[in-house]
A and B are shown apart, each in its own frame.
Chain A
């Protein structure tokens, strides 16, 4: 089901079946060009499929933005080992709730994307790693997979093409870190979700020590449209170096929060004002997170002229990330928002490397003290110092993911930190107390 009204400003490619009756069923899917991209791909060579992917300029939608066609091309063709496809459905980046909507409303689109990846790299088995909290989505995917087997779109000799593919779901059990690709692979194998040292990358040594294509749900969901209409058509929807659309989650202080499919390069201002219906209660924008809590925070001034794409965000020293947009109004205490994020990273650090394990814990402790009025002038510098010393010194991006928002908030909202000094109570605490019974 859909949780918000669609916007007329959306470009509906991945979400084009949303809202159709029984959009999750194989009948609806087959009646709307479903599995036709797979049939087309089955008549192409693996190079042709990968080239179409490269032409689409599709960049990984999980947050890192690595070109998907390039990732697929790294799988060694001559390896004697089996090859696997893994779907990262461990959606956990704060602010992000798009993979949920994609799986719930169009599970067969994901299955078809996986099949095409299988054709491209000669893989015959795959797993969809779904976070444990999404139990109802595991049920939805299991039903869709069962339908696909019944109707001959999974299993042996799919539709007489001679191609075999087995697909399974796999539940996580509560861990943000398992959304990091190498930690996900460890978790899939029944271990703690601790990242692996790279190289070798998963394309060469991935699931069960075999060459693996591992992409986000949204990335796989874009594949059928790319194969069906051509990579160039998908690329044309976006901006020169990033093709297609982005499932964008509007969250926070906005009138119409929801998940919307927008062209890459969509103007931030128009997104807030027209897609999101403007700021809640007519308040002013204070801070903006473009794509999940791991991105550096932007100020309202920095949002001027910004567009939702990789380059525009990089120019502003932030990232497009996962599509989890967090909108904060003028009454938001940035110290409190920052504290909550540091608490999150400290809780989710896997504990393997010291800069992350100790760094996130220190940041959490100092922020807790600070927000409660026990902070000192030196703490402000210390927060930035600790965060800067974490950057680039950890095995996986979680350390950076904590450090980047910390550095940006303390630099851009230093004044608010100073307002909390000397035992002063949080100046924003009174403004939004909820009336409780």
Chain B
């Protein structure tokens, strides 16, 4: 597989970041950074990473299935992650999730037909004092109201 030069540089640095013979440690970071670039963890990526860190594809697969941020299917270009855990729930995050699903016309874990947006109800993301919080890809948004969320999503739509 070929990746961007930036990602290759990152991989090279990762493979040097662990003790000799422990290159398997680079596997999870490599998978996540590669997913950021190619959109999902494909079979091809699993084999590539397995070969680069010196394990079997099965050993990569068992790891992929464990971590909630590693996805075998492509997400939307903008992945909207809504925390509904306790501190966010106390600020009506469950209703914010419902609102987002209605707005985008998809269910939790769905992807819009144009591939632009996906929704995922997620666990605590570490923004509890600024609840309700969401992440769109890696960007945090705090104190999110339905109106603020509408503005955010409409802004992203226009950017396309």
- Complex alpha-carbon distance, A96 and B160, angstroms: 35
- CB contacts under 8 Å to A, within B39-92, are 53, 55, 62-63, 66-70, 84-87, 89-90, 92
Tell which of A171, A328, A436 has the most Cβ of chain B within 10 Å. Answer: A436
**B128 touches which of A97, A191, A192, A350 (Cβ 8 Å):** A97
CA distance A93 to B146 in the complex (A): 26
CB contacts under 8 Å to A, within B98-137, are 98-99, 102, 123-131, 135
When C-beta atoms are compared, the residue in chain A nearest to B28 turns out to be: A173
A348 CA to B66 CA in the complex, in Å? 10
Q: How far is the CB of A28 from chain B (nearest CB, A)?
A: 23
A118 interface residue per 8 A CB criterion: no
Could you tell me if B147 and A252 are in contact, using CB atoms closer than 8 angstroms?
no
Contact B129 A259 (CB under 8 A): yes
Q: A173-B31, A173-B69 are in contact. Are A95 and B26 (CB under 8 A)?
A: no
B126–A100 CB distance below 8 A: yes
Q: Is A152 an interface residue (CB 8 A)?
A: no
Number of interface residues of B (CB under 8 A): 51
Q: A190-B53, A328-B90 are in contact. Are A171 and B129 (CB under 8 A)?
A: no
For residue A341, CB closer than 8 A to chain B, the reply is yes
A253 within 8 A of B: yes
Evaluate contact between B85 and A173: CB separation under 8 angstroms.
Answer: no
Known A-B contacts A82-B19, A190-B26, A326-B90; the reply to A97 vs B126 at CB < 8 A is: yes
User: In the bound complex, do residue B129 and residue A174 qualify as a contact, i.e. CB atoms below 8 Å apart?
Assistant: no
Contact with B along A93-127 (1 / 0, CB 8 A): 11111011000000000000000000000000101
Contact B129 A3 (CB under 8 A): yes
Contact B66 A175 (CB under 8 A): yes
Closest B residue to A99 using CB positions: B126
B22 within 8 A of partner (CB):
yes
Q: Is A317 an interface residue (CB 8 A)?
A: no
| A273 beta carbon closer than 8 Å to chain B | no
Given contacts A253-B90, A257-B129, contact A93 B99 (CB under 8 A): no
Q: Which residues of the partner chain A approach B22 to less than 8 Å between Cβ atoms?
A: 189, 208
Q: Which of B32, B89, B90, B142 contacts A173 (CB 8 A)?
A: B32
- For B33, what are the chain A residues with a Cβ–Cβ distance below 8 Å? 171
Contact flag A252-B67 (CB < 8 Å), given A82-B19, A437-B146: no
The one of A82, A293, A347 in contact with B86, judged by C-beta atoms closer than 8 angstroms, is A293
Give A341's nearest chain B residue, CB to CB. B86
Using an 8 Å CB-CB cutoff, how does the interface string of A326-348 with B read, 1 for contact, 0 for none?
Answer: 10100010001100110010011
Q: Is the CB of A175 within 8 A of B67?
A: yes
- A96, A168, A189: the one contacting B24 at CB < 8 Å is A189
Beta-carbon contacts under 8 Å, A326-375 to B: 326, 328, 332, 336-337, 340-341, 344, 347-348, 350
Q: Is the CB of A434 within 8 A of B90?
A: no
A92-B126, A436-B146 known; A133+B69 contact, CB < 8 A: yes
CB pair A94 B87 closer than 8 Å: yes
Name the A residues within 8 Å of B25 (CB-CB).
170, 188-190, 208
Q: A174-B70, A176-B124, A190-B26 are in contact. List 13 more A-B contacts (CB 8 A).
A: A96-B128, A97-B129, A133-B126, A136-B139, A190-B24, A193-B67, A249-B129, A251-B87, A251-B128, A251-B129, A251-B131, A257-B129, A437-B99
Question: Can you list 22 contacts pairing A with B, beta carbon distance less than 8 Å?
Answer: A91-B126, A92-B126, A94-B87, A94-B128, A96-B124, A96-B126, A97-B127, A100-B126, A132-B69, A135-B138, A170-B17, A170-B25, A173-B28, A174-B70, A190-B25, A193-B67, A208-B19, A251-B131, A252-B87, A293-B124, A337-B86, A434-B96
